[in-house]
Amino acid sequence: MKKLSLTSLIAVLFFITLFAQNQNYKCYPNCWWSGMKDPKLQLMIHGDGIANAKGGFTISYPGIKIEKVNKVENPNYIFLDLNISATAKPGLVKIRVNRESNPFDITLELKARRIGKGRNYAQGVNSSDFIYLIMPDRFSNGDESNDRVPGMRDQSLDRDTVFKRHGGDLLGVQNHLDYLYKLGVTTIWLNPVLENDMPHRTEHGYAFTDHYKIDPRLGGEKAYQDLIDAAHAKGMKIIQDAVYNHVGLYHFTVQDLPMKDWLHQWPKYTNTTYKDQTVFDPYASTRERKEMTDGWFTREMPDLNQNNPYVANFLIQNAIWSVENFGIDGWRIDTYPYNDLPFMNRCNKALVDEYPQLTLFGETWVHGVPNQSYFAQNNYDIPFKSNLQATCDFQALWGITDAMTRDFGWTDGVNNLYTTLAQDFVYKDPTRNVIFLDNHDMARFYTVVGENMDKYQSALSWLLTCRGVPQMYYGDELATTGTTSPNDGHVRLDFPGGWKNDPVNKFTIEGRTQKDQEIYQHLATLATFRRTSSALTTGKFMHFLPVNGVYVYFRYNKDQTIMVVMNTSKEEKTISMGKYAERTEGFTQYKDVLSKAMGKLADFKLGSYKTVVYELIK
């Protein structure tokens, strides 16, 4: 081997040092696209003393210029305002850091947009879709090599506990796309997939530590892209879970704050009150309103100050980056009422400006239609006007829960469901609301109804026939039980068969109990029918006043009429068809969507807690 001269050795060591130095600085976002509607990009560069480059920062790339260099309190950050013209071509953009002794480059990749590549993305969801919510760590382990990742804070892996990681990942989801498709699912919503490098409780994903990194324990960026591409190839869609309100305590911007007001700071720790009323209450205390919106969600989830323009830009750009980079189809927005609402309007608008078909729906865990509708597009004449397209419809959930668990009364039982839906006039478009029976934070609905099969199947029939976008939680297609007492881990148990040594595999009919299969078949039959039912996916909705626990509603258009009859009482009831002549006139027969039986349209008896779904025939 030829020996290096002293001069050559010094040069090599210099370039190794320079490369290592370059690697210590990170650029957020790490790539962008030419041809975006908004030509502006605020680049955050993070690294030791980056703001101390006395010679400043320069870019010599056609079509890109630095409009402003923003220094902040912490010299480890610099924010560069870039303008990327429509003429800028894809390539590697070198940002020269002009340090006096050793200038170096930081690279930003400029890519071509997905538009024109023939891929479907940012499609949005609508009332023709059926969403399936998955917690990846608890669904299926497709790649055991990423169960533990060296260097990450949480090294737990114990399926015998409900709080530690279990090893499920994105490949595990991809491996079961056929199962989901056969179930009738059109859209997958994943609990957050971004890096959660926290010391413990990282299975749920809601404490981000890096917005530009997919958690390697789930398989990282490649596994996420592979899953999305595979889902799109099957005609399915992907919803990403957005968390704008807070981050994890070990997020790099918390461990090394760019500025003091990056977070909402308090003289002593202050938790949010979780009282959404103070946001819109005309009589609310200023202090209590601030505690609701600016208080921390938990001690380990610091509250981001979205009034800080740098924070706002960081979050909005990351949202756009996620859609363009991975090709997701919509957003579910976590803890919507706790965010700064003008910021959310700005963020929503920025996304829809770039992706007009994109769907945005927010978690609005509140009580009361006025409370919930305040946070979405509504018909109120009030000072604040939300531009959020839709909500997770907790009010409909409380309604169906009462219908299945409380006796019929003037305002109780199924009357609560009727009254809730009767208030749809407050929404700009109630058909965009996402309806559901439970989720990762709530008791399994099968448990809520006391494992009563008739009640549970009636609730599932309602879910797939009511107005709105139906969404179910993984495992609810089976006789899955679980409560949040004493903790939420018991509603986040593993899907049986998702791990190679599982004694039972409920992804297959052979592994299911009789009750499992009854529920699965009920749901799959209805979901499959729904796919091609114009009445259920895009039809109008008409319901009739509940009488003695019997609730009847119709989904209809000029081509199809579906009649749903729910008996929520403890006794068998006689259904008199004459009461519903307004919608049944001209029809003489029915086809039971679930049993496929046909018969003459006439008065009939319906058992306690039973529901029938009829397609009417002339």
pLDDT in tens, 532-549: 999 999 999 999 999 999
Q: What is the pTM of this model?
A: 0.95
Choose the catalytic residue: 210, 363, 402, 438: 363
User: Confidence class of residue 344 from pLDDT cuts 50, 70 and 90?
Assistant: very high
β-bridge pairing 104-111 and 31-33:
parallel
User: Confidence class of residue 3 from pLDDT cuts 50, 70 and 90?
Assistant: low
Q: Which helix (H) or strand (E) holds 612?
A: strand 611-617
The answer to whether the beta carbons of residues 539 and 200 sit under 8 Å apart is no
- CA atoms within 13 A of residue 614's CA, in its CB half-sphere: 27
| Mean confidence (pLDDT) of the chain | 95
Mean pLDDT for 604-611 is: 98
Q: Two tokens at 19? A: 């490369």
Q: Two tokens at 57? A: 């920062």
User: Confidence class of residue 511 from pLDDT cuts 50, 70 and 90?
Assistant: very high
All domains in the chain, ordered by first residue = 23-111 (2.60.40.10), 131-256+308-395+432-531 (3.20.20.80), 538-617 (2.60.40.1180)
- Please, which residues have CB within 8 angstroms of residue 188's CB and are 6 or more apart in sequence? 131, 132, 134, 173, 180, 231, 236, 237, 238, 239
β-bridge pairing 77-84 and 64-71:
antiparallel
Measured on CA atoms in the order 194, 199, 202, 208, is the torsion positive or negative?
negative
Mean pLDDT for 200-219 is: 97
Q: What percent of the chain has pLDDT over 70?
A: 96
pLDDT for the residue 538: 96
Region of residue 436 (left: phi > 0; alpha: psi -120 to 50; beta: else): beta
User: Confidence class of residue 127 from pLDDT cuts 50, 70 and 90?
Assistant: very high
- 97-111, 134-148, 553-567: the lowest-pLDDT one: 97-111
Q: pLDDT tens digits for 261-308?
A: 999 999 999 999 999 999 999 999 999 999 999 999 999 999 999 999
User: Confidence class of residue 607 from pLDDT cuts 50, 70 and 90?
Assistant: very high
Residue type, 419: T
Q: How far apart are the first and last CA of the chain?
A: 91
pLDDT for the residue 116: 52
Q: pLDDT tens digits for 210-265?
A: 999 999 999 999 999 999 999 999 999 999 999 999 999 999 999 999 999 999 99
User: Confidence class of residue 20 from pLDDT cuts 50, 70 and 90?
Assistant: very low
Choose the catalytic residue: 154, 334, 354, 516: 334
The residues with which 263 forms a beta bridge, in sequence order, are 304
pLDDT for the residue 76: 98
Per-residue pLDDT for 382 more than 60?
Answer: yes
pLDDT for the residue 14: 41
Q: pLDDT tens digits for 491-503?
A: 999 999 999 999 9
Mean pLDDT for 407-429 is: 98
DSSP string, 441-454: TS--HHHHTTT-HH
Per-residue pLDDT for 22 more than 90?
Answer: no
User: Confidence class of residue 13 from pLDDT cuts 50, 70 and 90?
Assistant: very low
Q: Give the ranges where 375-510 is alpha helix by DSSP (H).
A: 394-405, 414-422, 445-448, 453-463
Of 519, 500, 600, 406, give the one whose Cα is nearest residue 172: 500
pLDDT for the residue 614: 98
510 in active site = no
The answer to whether the beta carbons of residues 65 and 83 sit under 8 Å apart is yes
Per-residue pLDDT for 154 more than 70?
Answer: yes
CB atoms within 10 A of CB 439: 22
Contacts 24+ apart (CB under 8 A), 212-218: 212/28, 212/29, 212/30, 212/318, 212/321, 214/170, 216/146, 216/149, 216/152, 217/137, 217/146, 217/147, 217/148, 217/149, 217/152, 217/165, 217/167, 217/169, 218/136, 218/137, 218/146, 218/169, 218/170, 218/193
Mean pLDDT for 573-598 is: 97
Q: pLDDT tens digits for 431-455?
A: 999 999 999 999 999 999 999 999 9
363 in active site = yes
Cα-based distances in Å from 485 to 128, 239, 449, 502: 35, 29, 16, 26
Mean pLDDT for 359-387 is: 98
pLDDT for the residue 118: 47
pLDDT for the residue 9: 47
Q: Two tokens at 513? A: 């109990």
